Amino acid sequence: MTLKHITITGGKPLYGQIKIQGSKNAALPILTSCILGNGVCRIDNCPCISDVDVTLRMLKTAGCRVSRGGSTVTVDASQITCCEVPENEASRIRSSILFLGALTGRCRTASLPFPGGCAIGERPVNLHIGALEKLGVCFEDTGRLEADGRGLRGARVTLPFPSVGATENVILAAVLAPGKTLIQNAALEPEIDELCEFLNLRGARTVRKPDGSILIEGVRTLGPVRYSIKPDRIVAGTYLFAAAAAGGKIRICGLPAAGLENPLAVLKKMGMKITAENSFCEIDSPGIIRAVPYLETAPYPGFPTDLQSPLLAALSEARGESLIRERIFENRFRVVPELIRMGAKIKEEKDCVRICGSQSLHGASVAATDLRSGAALVIAGLAARGATKVGGLEYIERGYENICRDLSLLGAEISLSDGVLAEEMPRKV
Ligand code: EPZ
């Protein structure tokens, strides 16, 4: 069977500097929010990733005029002609759920299937529905999400959990709703503040209060804007953990350290020399990695769940035992069996994994099962002795513009190839 895959020859430290693509988790809500107003939104530094492609197709289905030239996207939502989001697209990405808030906010009605996305957990939408009901939206249970937003108005919403998507959905529904909305226990991720910055530039009235809650005062309409997406902190963090695992010294340019405080502190505990300035972040990796006795993922500003798999890959090469607990998603250790096939010594214990660092990763044929596990397998391949083939590229391409281009720029021996995945590489037993 021929599968497009990545081939890596490990054992080479990384050196050099790199600029990071625009943030996936900022671009997706910002693009969806274009539905809310008239006029042309021109968005620069928009990442060339498949999740953006799906979102642009859904915007076109809704009636938006969409164009793309490289990393610049324009969206004109002056005419919204359809408030039904198609199953075949929406079921591919999690962030399709944001069309619920955007279409309800603009048209007072929305119909969409339950969202898709990486199989890292059950990923319910109860927090989204509960919050929008507080804003007067009514839902009909037809096997799809059918929203009647004729009674939409501002309200106080307290989220039981600081869900990123639910926070974004309430913002999208509230910016054009009559009255004021206060979101308490709102997610604190920087991508939320970037969405609000984008909306405020269009004439919305949102503010992050000192206690982290978000106050929104509804306005009548939003105007056009030109905006540039900020760098992707998770992609940057992925490359920092790659340098930790492979050794070497790299500089991430154009990335403010803000948004990566916790992962940078963890990298320092792992023995890395970190220099974090306003415009760049640098890691000098001595090649020896200290284990992390205990760490648990948490909502921002805690350690981000999206860097948990890259962390596991790096810790597989550490000296000593690490215990990592995943507290956000219930099925986010799917990279573990693949890392074990590369020689990692990892044991799963309910919502924790125990890693006995062994510096014994070896090449193997492995496959990604979700976006960040794919990136983690690439990191493991950089550190492993011998050659590694990573399949499941469709997952990696959801969030990484061109991981081969980026890591090659840093000296990695990595390439994209079509070829027979299974037979070429003898499976290590
Ligand atoms: C966003 O997903 C990100 N996706 C995820 O990134 C990220 O891992 C996650 O936030 C946490 O930071 C995008 O921004 C497109 P949540 P989201 O709602 O909004 C539970 C990546 O790799 N929950 O904060 O879906 C949920 O099951 C992706 O880039 C409910 O129970 O995350 C999870 O356990 C993966 N009911 C927890 O909350 C709900 O209604 C956090 O989910 C909603 C969520």
In SS3 terms, the chain reads as CEEEEEEEECCCCEEEEEECCECHHHHHHHHHHHHHCCCEEEEECCCCCHHHHHHHHHHHHCCCEEEEECCEEEEECCCCCCCECCHHHHCCCHHHHHHHHHHHHHHCEEEECCCCCCCCCCCCCHHHHHHHHHCCCEEEECCCEEEECCCCCCCEEECCCCCHHHHHHHHHHHCCCCCEEEEECCCCCHHHHHHHHHHHHCCCEEEECCCCCEEEECCCCCCCEEEECCECHHHHHHHHHHHHHHCEEEEEECCCCCCCHHHHHHHHHCCCEEEECCCEEEEEECCCCECCCCEEECCCCCECHHHHHHHHHHHCCCEEEEEEECCCCCCCCCCHHHHHHCCCCEEEECCEEEEEECCCCECCEEECCCHHHHHHHHHHHHHCECEEEEECHHHHCCCCCCHHHHHHHCCCEEEEEEEEHHHHCCCCC
pLDDT in tens, 126-151: 999 999 999 999 998 788 899 999 99
The total number of structural domains that make up the chain: 2
pLDDT at 274: 96
Comparing 88-97, 99-108, 266-275, 295-304, which segment has the lowest mean pLDDT?
88-97
pLDDT in tens, 228-285: 999 999 999 999 999 999 999 999 998 877 799 999 999 999 999 999 988 899 999 9
246 and 218 co-located in one domain = no
Q: With bands split at pLDDT 50, 70 and 90, how would you rate the model's confidence at 106?
A: very high
How much distance in Å is there from the Cα of 301 to the middle of ligand 1?
A: 15
How much distance in Å is there from the Cα of 164 to the middle of ligand 1?
A: 6
Mutate to test the pocket of ligand 1, among 328, 373, 398 (most ligand atoms within 8 A of CB): 328
How much distance in Å is there from the Cα of 329 to the middle of ligand 1?
A: 8
How much distance in Å is there from the Cα of 247 to the middle of ligand 1?
A: 31
What's 92's domain CATH number?
3.65.10.10
Q: With bands split at pLDDT 50, 70 and 90, how would you rate the model's confidence at 428?
A: very low
| 429 falls within a domain | no
Please state the pTM of the whole predicted model: 0.95
Among 228, 253, 277, identify where a domain stops.
Answer: 228
Among 228, 251, 282, identify where a domain stops.
Answer: 228
| 324 falls within a domain | yes
| 55 falls within a domain | yes
List CB contacts of 419: < 8 A, sequence separation 6 or more: 2, 3, 5
Write the residue with the smallest CA distance to atom 14 of ligand 1. Answer: 25
pLDDT at 358: 80
9 and 66 co-located in one domain = no
Name the strand (E) or helix (H) holding 9: strand 2-9
269 and 148 co-located in one domain = no
Predicted confidence (pLDDT) at residue 429 exceeds the cutoff of 50: no
pLDDT in tens, 344-393: 999 999 899 999 988 889 999 999 999 999 999 999 999 999 999 999 99
pLDDT at 130: 96
Atom of ligand 1 nearest to the CA of 118: 35
| 425 falls within a domain | no
Q: With bands split at pLDDT 50, 70 and 90, how would you rate the model's confidence at 153?
A: very high
Among 163, 193, 228, identify where a domain stops.
Answer: 228
Write the residue with the smallest CA distance to atom 6 of ligand 1. Answer: 306
Mutate to test the pocket of ligand 1, among 25, 296, 373 (most ligand atoms within 8 A of CB): 25
289 and 401 co-located in one domain = yes
pLDDT in tens, 296-322: 999 999 999 999 999 999 999 999 999
63 and 201 co-located in one domain = yes
pLDDT in tens, 161-194: 999 999 999 999 999 999 999 999 999 999 999 9
50 and 189 co-located in one domain = yes
308 and 200 co-located in one domain = no
14 and 122 co-located in one domain = no
Mutate to test the pocket of ligand 1, among 123, 303, 329 (most ligand atoms within 8 A of CB): 123
Mean pLDDT (the chain, rounded):
93
Atom of ligand 1 nearest to the CA of 128: 40
180 and 266 co-located in one domain = no
Q: Are strands 214-217 and 145-148 parallel, antiparallel or unpaired?
A: unpaired
pLDDT at 427: 41
Residues with CB under 6 A from ligand 1: 24-25, 28, 94-95, 118, 121, 123-128, 161, 163-166, 305-306, 328-329, 371-372, 399
pLDDT at 118: 64
17 and 126 co-located in one domain = no
- Over residues 72-79, the mean pLDDT reads 97
Task: Choose the catalytic residue: 34, 46, 64, 118.
Answer: 118
pLDDT at 2: 45
Q: With bands split at pLDDT 50, 70 and 90, how would you rate the model's confidence at 117?
A: low
Helix, coil or strand: residue 297: strand
How much distance in Å is there from the Cα of 163 to the middle of ligand 1?
A: 6
- Over residues 17-30, the mean pLDDT reads 96
Write the residue with the smallest CA distance to atom 32 of ligand 1. Answer: 164
| 427 falls within a domain | no
| 135 falls within a domain | yes
344 and 377 co-located in one domain = yes
Comparing 101-110, 113-122, 294-303, 408-417, which segment has the lowest mean pLDDT?
113-122
| 9 falls within a domain | yes
pLDDT at 419: 61
Domain that holds residue 198: 24-228
Q: Is 34 a catalytic residue?
A: no
pLDDT at 1: 42
Atom of ligand 1 nearest to the CA of 123: 27
How much distance in Å is there from the Cα of 125 to the middle of ligand 1?
A: 10
How much distance in Å is there from the Cα of 187 to the middle of ligand 1?
A: 10
Atom of ligand 1 nearest to the CA of 234: 29
126 and 235 co-located in one domain = no
Write the residue with the smallest CA distance to atom 4 of ligand 1. Answer: 25
